[in-house]
Structure 1
Amino acid sequence: MIIFPILITLSLVFYVYYKVAILKSDDNLTQAYLNAKSRICLGSFILFFAINQYIFYQTRISLFVGIAFLILGVMQLSRGIKEAGHYKNEWKRLNNE
C-alpha cells in the first residue's frame, strides 16, 4: 500500500514546517498554537507509522510495537486537537473576531 508512506511523509514534513514556523514567530500565543499543530502532525506520523509497520510485517512483535505506537499517536493527536482548538479560541477572543 502506497498510501501510508505518503501520509507518513506528509505528516513528517508538516511537523518540521510547524516547528520551524515556531522559531519565526515572536508571539507566545502563536507559538503555542503552532506547537499544538505540530503535535497533531507528530501524532498522525506515529499513528500512520504504526499501521504501516503492522501491515508490512504482520508479526506478533510488530503487533505489540504497533499497538504501543498507536496509543502514543492517538494521545498526541487528541492532545494536539484540544490544544489547537483552545489556542484558536483564545486568538479569536483577543482579536475580537
Structure 2
Amino acid sequence: MVIIPIIIVLSLAMYLFYKVQILRLGEDPLKQVYTNSKARMALGLFMLSISINVYLVYQTRLALYITILFIALGGAQLVYGYKTTRFYGKQLKERSA
C-alpha cells in the first residue's frame, strides 16, 4: 500500500501550504477564512489517512478504537472544511464580480 503514505505526505504538505498562505494574505479576512477552510480539508484528509494507516500497521483493538476516533474527527474536519469552502468561495465570487 504505497498510496496511503503518499496521501499522508501530500495532505500534510497542503495543510502547511495553506497555513503559510494565510500569513501571506495580509488584511483580507474573507480570503483568510477561505484559505483556512481549505486547510481544514487538508487536515481532515490527513487525519483520515493517518488513522487508516495506523490500523493497517497494528491491527489491534486499541488501534481500531484510535482509528474510529480519528475517522470521526477527520471526517468532521473534512465536511466542515468543504462546506465553509463552498460558502466563502461563493462570497469571493460575488465580491469580485
Structure 2 runs not aligned, ≥5 long: none
Aligned residues: 96
CA deviation after TM superposition for structure 1 residue 31, in Å: 0.4
User: Could you tell me how far apart the structure 2 residues matched to 1:67 and 1:56 are?
Assistant: 15
Give the Cα separation in 2 of the matches to 1:92 and 1:6. Answer: 32
Match of 2:95 in 1: 94
* TM-score w.r.t. length of structure 1: 0.97
Q: Distance in 1 between matches of 2:96 and 2:12?
A: 31
Instruction: Determine the structure 1 residue equivalent to 2:76.
Output: 75
Superposition deviation, residue 2 in structure 1: 1.2
Deviation at 1:11, TM superposition (A): 0.2
List gaps (5 residues or longer) in structure 1: none
- Corresponding residue number in structure 1 for 2:23: 23
Q: Deviations over 1:36-86 (max 9, x none)?
A: 000000000000000111111111100000000000000000000000000
- Cα distance between partner residues in 2 of 1:17 and 1:24: 11
Query: What is the CA deviation profile of residues 10-35 of structure 1, one whole-angstrom value per residue up to 9, with x for unaligned ones?
Result: 00000000000000002111100000
One-letter amino acid matched to 1:85 = R
CA RMSD in angstroms, aligned pairs only: 0.6
TM-score (norm 2): 0.97
Q: Aligned partners of 1:38, 1:46: CA distance in 2, in Å? A: 12
- Overall identity of the aligned pairs, in %: 45
Post-superposition offset of 1:94: 1.1
